[in-house]
Amino acid sequence: MSATLRACWALAVANGRITATDRKGRLIICLGYLLGMWLLYWLWQGLYQDDPQRAGLSFARALLHVVTAQTLFAIITTGADWRLAREIRSGEVASQLTQPMNLPLRHGALSLGVAGAKALYMLPAFGVFLLWSGLSLTPASWPLALLSVLCSFSLLYSLGFMVGLAGFLATDLWGITASKDAVVQFLGGALIPLAFFPPTIQAILTWLPFAHFFNTPVGYLTGELTSPQALYLQLAWVVVFWGLAQLAGRWVQRKLIVFGA
């Protein structure tokens, strides 16, 4: 077990270092991120110009929700789906399977490295934007909020891993990854807060995994959520998604045929 954890750590650190290598790229990404947040600020300000309260949220609360969710999306989207599909199509996955490490765990470690590296250079940019816009994160409990962010990463990664397995079915992965990103962002509350949805749909989304991709961690980070009830539900979905990813991984290994080196 400790050997597996050490291997995971080594993979995460190595992939994180690769992600963080390109200094010019990081700088441009941070500037692009700040530009995107600035544009969102004006879009939401325009929306609130005639009405200071919409869907029970003030401008500041709605904007804080959206920018936090978008930042979370930018950090925890790690390209696990594309990486796995590429490995399947090139046959590289065969050599990964010879290593004494579970496939979903291996990709999970690589994704954690990417997310960690992205957090290192994007969180300061997020801080700059919060400072400029006069917003701040006020979680009731930082440990709950961070645990919820970790669960959100696990959910998104597991889904990405399962989507990556579509590399077996399709040669063009754009359709399925675009569908996944659109659905989790829209129904997860990253594009607009779930408070803007009709109450019945909000209630359904809270029980389904969707709200736990972004709405739950953002709720803890912004102080909208204080009780651990939503986190318990999120943890339950993490267990379900992780189990499904393991099952899907095993099923694929039984089907896999690779020719050549």
Partner 1 sequence: MSAFFTAWRRLALADCKVKLESRADFALIVCGMFFTSVSSGASLYLMLGNAGEIAGYNRYELIFMQGFMFLTYVFESSCCNAMYMLESWLKNGNFVRYYLRPIHPLQMLLLERFHPQGLVVAATGLAFMGFALAHLPGVWSLGFVLQLVVLLPLASITLNAINQMAIASCFFFGEYSPVFHTVGKLTDMSRYPFELFPKLARQVFMLLPLAGIVWWPCQVLLRQQPIWQVAPLMLLIASGSVAALMWLWRTGMQRYAGAGG
Report how far apart, in Å, the C-alpha atoms of 98 and of each of 90, 94, 110, 115 are.
16, 7, 17, 26
* Identity of the residue numbered 242: W
Question: N- to C-terminal Cα distance for the chain?
Answer: 30
Nearer to partner 1, 74 or 144 (CB): 74
CB proximity list for 152: less than 8 A, separation 6 or greater:
72, 76, 212, 213, 214, 216, 217, 234
Q: Please identify, using beta-carbon distances, which residue of 147 and 181 lies nearer to partner 1.
A: 181
Taking the complex as a whole, how short is the minimal distance between the CB of residue 55 and partner 1, in angstroms?
A: 7
Q: Find the shortest distance in angstroms from Cβ 6 to partner 1.
A: 31
**How many residues comprise the chain?**
261
- Compare residues 60 and 97 and give the one whose CB is closer to partner 1: 60
Interface residues with partner 1 (CB under 8 A)? 22, 24-26, 28-29, 31-32, 35-36, 39, 42-43, 45-47, 49-51, 54-55, 166, 169-179, 181-183, 185-186, 191-192, 196-197
d(CA 151, CA 139): 16
Q: Which is nearer to partner 1, 69 or 233 (CB)?
A: 69
CB 223 within 8 A of CB 191: no
Can you say whether the dihedral through the CA atoms of 62, 67, 72, 77 is positive or negative? Answer: positive
Q: Which is nearer to partner 1, 1 or 50 (CB)?
A: 50
CB of 190 to partner 1, least distance (A): 10
- State the minimum distance, in angstroms, from the CB of residue 5 to partner 1: 31
Residues 6+ apart with CB under 8 A from 86: 92, 167
Minimum separation from the CB atom of position 124 to partner 1 (A): 16
Nearer to partner 1, 21 or 138 (CB): 21
Closer residue to partner 1 (CB): 131 or 178: 178
Least separation, in Å, of the C-beta of 82 and partner 1? 12
DSSP letters of 92-126? THHHHHTSSS-HHHHHHHHHHHHHHHHHHHHHHHH
Taking the alpha carbons of 108, 147, 17, 12 in that order, is the dihedral positive or negative? Answer: negative
